[in-house]
Structure 1
Amino acid sequence: MERANIIGLDKQHVWHPYTAMAQYIAETDPLVVVGAEGPYLLDADGRRYLDANSSWWVTTLGHRHPRLVRALTEQAASLAHVSLAGITHEPAARLGAELAAIAPGADRADVPAEQRLSRVFYSDNGSTAVEVAIKMAAQYWAQNGRPRRTRFITLTEAFHGETVGSTSVGGVKVFRDVFGPLLFDVVHVPSPAEEGGWARAFSEVEAALRAHPEEIAGVILEPVIQGAGGMLMYSPDFVRAVREATRAVDTFLIADEVFTGMGRTGARFAVDLAGVVPDLLCLAKALSGGLLPFAVTLASERVFSGFLGEKSRALYYGHSYCGNPLGAAVAREVLAVYRDEDVLGQVVRKAPRIQAAFERMAREIPGLTRPRAVGMVGAVDLGGGGYLANRGWRVYEAARRRGLYLRPLGDTVYIAPPLNIPDAALDVLLAGVEDSLREVAKD
């Protein structure tokens, strides 16, 4: 089909996510992607673009990694789908064991058995992984002697997904305020990335826990990086302090690692940077390497044991495709590629180059503020306009002309490329970002 025909059908029928559709239909000449390989997207005009955000953070091993494609194809030839309700299959069983073996604290002798993240609940995307954790926490307390524990502590500028439950615990106003009447009440505390740092934020977390210990079902965090809120970064010390505070009042810590999990920060999980083990951990995106929607919620033995007994105590929740054989087989191969290709080691080696580049850009280009980097994420701000501002989109256009797909968060320009991006491609990406920022800064 010709490019113009694709765009015509698209603008007539497709409602795009996170897109002002009137402007899109009237003004946007979109990329029409026809293929992808490694860190590159290929468009209908035959042009190649470096995928600077891993297609919304999922392709951490690049597009169409041959081992993942092979695993998908081989699994599809024998068993593509079957319900996981009361039956099982090899890919789901083996993946569960492999995830438990690499979970935070799995290799630590000092972690008690009840605190180990040895139980795996499958779902199909990051939002539902968080929704599962919310329901697990609430139901656990409801049927284990503390039914008043129905509220969660969360951060301003947090993003935890799109379902009503995960939106409720989010803190990005533009994503949640219109749905206010539908959302349940939470305790919002300042982001540890805001002025005053993590100590101020922690003081409010601690105060809320001490004031209402009988009401708090858990604290939910995006450890170290608040992604969609603007790539806000903070010290692992905050995560460690919150873990200690939740232990003091015996409530749960939920780690939303949908973005940070699987090596993005340089550690396998961001909570590993803090040396803590949460009670629940949510994982998606990178887990299936960009091939399929697939997610998990890891739960401690303590949480799992709270659902045993009479049938009424079971977690009556699930999705048609939860734990599907295709996704499980691909996820197992993702874990194998991480091991065989030393992906975490690649991140440790490349991360200093990203940090140095963003710090240099902020020093040398007028108008840039708050350079920051953790692992394979680098970010800088062009102003204080927030998510709906437009300067970042001018950088997007400048980058597109240079062969980069660089999707901003309003006035925040960032990169989160595949973790295994070749060194030469990373150099091209960093140079292109710098040239694009310089172009916009001149105006």
Structure 2
Amino acid sequence: MERADIVTLDKRHVWHPYTAMEAYIAETDPLVVVRSEGPYLYDADGRRYLDANGSWWVSTLGHRHPRLVKALVDQASTLAHSALAGITHEPAARLAAELVSVAPGAGRADVPTEHRLNRVFYSDNGSTAVEVAIKMAAQYWAQNGRPQRTRFITLSGAFHGETVGATSVGGVPEFREVFGPLLFDVVHVPAPSEEGGWERAFAEVQRTLREHGDSVAGVILEPVIQGAAGMQIYSPAFVRAVREATRAADTFLIADEVFTGLGRTGARFACDLADVVPDLLCLAKALSGGLLPFGTTLASERVFSGFLGAKSRALYYGHSYCGNPLGAAVAREVLAVYRDEDVPGQVARKAPRVKAAFERMAETIPGLERPRALGMVGAVDLGSGGYFANSGWRVYEAARRRGLYLRPLGNTVYITPALNIPDESLDELLHGVEDSLREVAGR
């Protein structure tokens, strides 16, 4: 099919996510991606683009990693799908055991059995992984003596997904205000990266738990990095302090590691940077290496035990593709590749280069502010204006001309490439971002 025909059909029928469609239809000449390999996308014109954001943070091992493709093909040849309600299959059972073995706190003698993340509930994406955690927390308290616990504490700027429940605990105004009448009540506290530091944010968490703890079902965090808020990085000390406060108040800590989980921050989980074991942990994105939608929610033994007993106490929630054998097989291979190719070691070696490059950009390019980096995340702000600012999109266009696919968050320009990106490709990416920022800032 010719490129022009694809674009015509697309503009006639496709409703794109996070896209102002009137402007898109009238003005946008989109990338038409026909192939991907490693850290690169290839378009219908035969041009190669370095995928600077891992296609929305999912392709942590690059595109079409041969071992992941083989695992997918092999599994498809025997069992492509089976429901998981009251029956099981090998990929789901083995993946659950492997996730438990690498979860925060696994193998630590100082973690009591009731606090271990020993149970795995499958879903099909990050939003539903968070939705599961919300429902687990709410139902646990409803049927274990504290039904008044229905509220959640969340951070300003938080992003936890697109379902109504996940949107409720979100804190990005542009994504939630229009749905206000549909959302349940939450307590928003200042983001720990805002002025005043994490201590100010924690004081609000502590005050809320002290004054209204009997109504709080849990605190939900994106540990250490708030992604959609603009790659806002904050101290692991805040996560530790919140963990201690939730233990004292006897309520739950939910760690949304859909973005940060599996190496993005340099640790296996961002919770590990804080030496924290949450009560519920949400995973997706990297878990299936960008091949399939797949999500999980890990729960502590305490949470799980609150659903035992009469049939009425069960968690009546699920999705048709929960624990899909294809996704489970690929996820197992993702974990194997991380081990065999020492992906954490690769991140440790490359992360200082990312940090140094963004600091250099801010020092040498006028108008850049707040350079920040952690693991394989690098970000800088170009002026003000927030999510609806156009400055980042000018950089997007400049980067596209240089063969980079660089999707901004308003005035925030960032990179989240594959964790195993080859050194020469990382150099290409960092130089391309710098040249693009210099072009736009010099206008």
Matched, 1:435 2:429: no
Q: SS of 1:212's equivalent?
A: helix
- Tell me what 1:181 maps to: 181
1:107 Cα shift? 2.2
Q: TM-score, normalised by structure 1?
A: 1.00
- Tell me what 2:76 maps to: 76
1:158 Cα shift? 0.2
- Tell me what 1:276 maps to: 276
Q: SS of 1:229's equivalent?
A: coil
Q: SS of 1:373's equivalent?
A: strand
Q: Deviations over 1:60-113 (max 9, x none)?
A: 000000000000000000000010000000000000000000000002110000
Cα distance between partner residues in 2 of 1:143 and 1:285:
32
Cα distance between partner residues in 2 of 1:108 and 1:305:
21
Q: SS of 1:254's equivalent?
A: strand
Letter of the structure 2 residue corresponding to residue 152 of structure 1 = F
- Tell me what 2:205 maps to: 205
Q: SS of 1:153's equivalent?
A: strand
Cα distance between partner residues in 2 of 1:153 and 1:383:
30
- Tell me what 1:375 maps to: 375
Cα distance between partner residues in 2 of 1:148 and 1:415:
42
- Tell me what 1:338 maps to: 338
Cα distance between partner residues in 2 of 1:206 and 1:130:
23
1:299 Cα shift? 0.1
- Tell me what 1:235 maps to: 235
- Tell me what 1:356 maps to: 356
Letter of the structure 1 residue corresponding to residue 35 of structure 2 = G
> Tell me, which stretches of 5 or more residues in structure 1 are unaligned?
none
Q: SS of 1:199's equivalent?
A: helix
Cα distance between partner residues in 2 of 1:106 and 1:170:
29
Cα distance between partner residues in 2 of 1:159 and 1:276:
21
Cα distance between partner residues in 1 of 2:12 and 2:249:
54
Q: Deviations over 1:333-384 (max 9, x none)?
A: 0000000000011001100000000001001000000000010000000012
Cα distance between partner residues in 2 of 1:124 and 1:200:
36
- Tell me what 1:161 maps to: 161
Letter of the structure 2 residue corresponding to residue 437 of structure 1 = L
Cα distance between partner residues in 1 of 2:76 and 2:179:
39
How many residues align? The count is: 443
Matched, 1:3 2:33: no
Letter of the structure 2 residue corresponding to residue 248 of structure 1 = A
- Tell me what 1:408 maps to: 408
Matches within 5 A, 1:50-129: 50-129=50-129
1:213 Cα shift? 1.2
Q: SS of 2:414's equivalent?
A: strand
Cα distance between partner residues in 2 of 1:384 and 1:278:
35
- Tell me what 1:192 maps to: 192
Cα distance between partner residues in 2 of 1:383 and 1:92:
47
- Tell me what 1:262 maps to: 262
Letter of the structure 1 residue corresponding to residue 53 of structure 2 = N
Letter of the structure 1 residue corresponding to residue 326 of structure 2 = L
- Tell me what 2:172 maps to: 172
- Tell me what 1:325 maps to: 325
Q: SS of 2:220's equivalent?
A: strand
Cα distance between partner residues in 2 of 1:118 and 1:273:
20
- Tell me what 1:347 maps to: 347
Cα distance between partner residues in 2 of 1:312 and 1:67:
43
Cα distance between partner residues in 2 of 1:437 and 1:384:
15
- Tell me what 1:151 maps to: 151
Cα distance between partner residues in 1 of 2:383 and 2:148:
43
1:288 Cα shift? 0.2
Q: SS of 2:62's equivalent?
A: coil
Q: Deviations over 1:213-253 (max 9, x none)?
A: 11000000000000011111100000000000000010000
Q: SS of 1:30's equivalent?
A: coil
Matched, 1:246 2:246: yes
Letter of the structure 1 residue corresponding to residue 226 of structure 2 = Q
Cα distance between partner residues in 1 of 2:50 and 2:262:
21
Letter of the structure 1 residue corresponding to residue 297 of structure 2 = T
Cα distance between partner residues in 1 of 2:209 and 2:49:
48
Cα distance between partner residues in 1 of 2:3 and 2:37:
20
Q: SS of 2:355's equivalent?
A: helix
> Tell me, which stretches of 5 or more residues in structure 2 are unaligned?
none
Cα distance between partner residues in 2 of 1:221 and 1:373:
19
Cα distance between partner residues in 2 of 1:195 and 1:382:
18
> Percent identity between the aligned chains?
83
Cα distance between partner residues in 2 of 1:439 and 1:384:
18
Structure 1 runs of 4+ aligned residues shifted over 2 Å read: none
Cα distance between partner residues in 1 of 2:341 and 2:442:
42
Letter of the structure 1 residue corresponding to residue 416 of structure 2 = A
Cα distance between partner residues in 2 of 1:298 and 1:131:
13
Q: Deviations over 1:178-233 (max 9, x none)?
A: 00000000000000010111000000000000001110000000000000111111
Cα distance between partner residues in 2 of 1:185 and 1:306:
24
- Tell me what 1:292 maps to: 292
Cα distance between partner residues in 1 of 2:368 and 2:331:
39
Q: SS of 1:248's equivalent?
A: helix
Cα distance between partner residues in 2 of 1:53 and 1:259:
12
1:143 Cα shift? 0.3
Letter of the structure 1 residue corresponding to residue 42 of structure 2 = L
Letter of the structure 2 residue corresponding to residue 242 of structure 1 = V
Q: Deviations over 1:7-37 (max 9, x none)?
A: 0000000000000000000000000000000
Cα distance between partner residues in 1 of 2:258 and 2:22:
31
Cα distance between partner residues in 2 of 1:44 and 1:107:
49
